[in-house]
Amino acid sequence: MTIKVHHKLLLTGAAGGLGTALRERLKANCDVLRLSDRQAFGDAAAHEEVVLADLADGKAVDAMVAGVDAIVHLGGISVDGPFEPILQANILGIYHLDEVACKRV
């Protein structure tokens, strides 16, 4: 028997390799798994919600986090490239996520 620890869990970076690999395992620990990425990655399955959002957009992050009990943050850029997109995703994105999450504690 699996005990569901969370009602609604948010997974950022759900379209990535690690997010895809963890999707089913995380779903076993919550009633609803909210999946988020900035690119389309398919439809929601049973007990899932899909939210397309860019972590660099503070208002989008605020809406994405609304109603969740916990966050598994995997969103970001993990390959070499120009600094500006990395800054937006990895620095500004975590700033917005942290600010919104702290207000809800």
Give the domain CATH number at 16: 3.40.50.720
What pLDDT is recorded for position 4?
82
Q: Is residue 46 part of a domain?
A: yes
What pLDDT is recorded for position 75?
94
Q: Is residue 1 part of a domain?
A: no
What pLDDT is recorded for position 105?
72
Q: What is the mean pLDDT of the chain?
A: 93
What pLDDT is recorded for position 1?
57
> Which tokens hold the place of 33?
């798994």
pTM over 0.75: yes
In this structure, how many other beta carbons lie within 10 angstroms of the beta carbon of residue 3?
6
Determine the structural domain holding residue 47 and report its residue range: 6-103
What pLDDT is recorded for position 104?
81
Q: Is residue 76 part of a domain?
A: yes
Residue at 26: amino acid letter: L
Phi and psi at residue 9, to the nearest 5°: -115, 135
Q: Is the pLDDT of residue 32 over 80?
A: yes
Q: Is residue 43 part of a domain?
A: yes
Q: How far apart are CA 21 and CA 1, in angstroms?
A: 22
Number of domains in the chain: 1
Q: How far apart are CA 33 and CA 49, in angstroms?
A: 6
